[in-house]
Amino acid sequence: MSTFNGLREPDRRILVVTGHYGSGKTEFSVSLAMRLAERGFGPYKRLALCDLDIINPYFRSRERRAMLEGAGVPVYGSAYGHEVTAEIPELAANIRAPLEDKDCRTIVDLGGNDSGAMVLNQFGKYFTPESTLFLTVINANRPETRDFDGAMEHLRAIEAITGHKVDGLINNTHLLRETDADCVVKGHRLCERLCDATGAFIWCDCYPEGIVDPASLPEEYGYLMPLGLYMRPGWLDR
């Protein structure tokens, strides 16, 4: 696989991103969409983001619809054209459009943990091994995935409910604006153990852009993903 800006180039058309609540999977999905939009769509003519998170009412990628669509990335998800406070968990009928479009690279932001991932099953025919890269975000600073046993339980639950083997792990171990290189290294080590046990590979290591200097991370990591804080409301840092 080739790289761009240190990030691994996706080798399949559909990227399914899952992870436990608070892992940062939505921040990753939005950041990846913005990065791909900046560099072009590669062998594809279009790029889209499907928000299949109908479980968690907070920090959903469709909340950044205006920003993403301004960058040329249409967002598919809620049946509503706008957000409502008590949103009914209903998906729009057109959500299948990017999944069926062979010229559209599609990022799927799946709901957290195994309950949220269940929604994937109704679209199962689109997620073939040839077309789909199944990624799971690991945050070693979250209670549920802070150690090997907890993270393994999470991975196995995701695989059991979706029927898909996790191909790659995304190390997104952070402490928001308090993140340092040691956080990223801690998560990388956990992901290495998980890969040894499962046969998955580390797809990338994430770091918050402007907070952690990528030059401070071990050179052998190779594939690095700078994350924007797109999903974090500014008032939380005041």
- Rounded to whole angstroms, how far apart are CA atoms 127 and 75? 19
Predicted confidence (pLDDT) per residue in 80-134, tens digit: 555 544 454 556 678 899 999 999 999 999 876 555 566 677 788 888 999 999 9
On whether residue 116 sits in a domain, the answer given is: yes
On whether residue 3 sits in a domain, the answer given is: no
What was the pLDDT predicted at 41?
77
Cα dihedral angle (164, 167, 171, 172), rounded to 10 degrees?
-40
Total domains in the fold of the chain: 1
Give, for all 238 residues of the chain, the pLDDT tens digit: 444 446 677 889 999 999 988 888 889 999 999 989 988 777 899 999 998 876 555 555 667 778 899 999 999 876 555 554 445 455 667 889 999 999 999 999 987 655 556 667 778 888 899 999 999 999 999 999 999 999 999 999 989 988 899 999 999 999 988 999 999 999 999 999 999 999 999 999 999 999 999 999 998 887 999 988 766 544 344 4
Q: Which of 161, 61, 50 is nearest to 116 (CA)?
A: 161
Q: Which of 25, 201, 17 is nearest to 106 (CA)?
A: 17
In angstroms and rounded to an integer, the radius of gyration of the C-alpha atoms of the chain is 17
Exposure b/e, 175-199, CB count within 10 A at least 16 = b? eeeebeeebbbebbebbeebeeebe
On whether residue 1 sits in a domain, the answer given is: no
On whether residue 139 sits in a domain, the answer given is: yes
Look up residue 124 and give its amino acid: G
On whether residue 237 sits in a domain, the answer given is: no
On whether residue 235 sits in a domain, the answer given is: no
What was the pLDDT predicted at 1?
44
CATH of residue 40's domain is 3.40.50.300
Q: In whole angstroms, how far apart are CA 163 and each of 19, 108, 136?
A: 16, 16, 14
On whether residue 117 sits in a domain, the answer given is: yes
On whether residue 120 sits in a domain, the answer given is: yes
Q: Provide the residue range defining the domain that includes 204.
A: 8-227
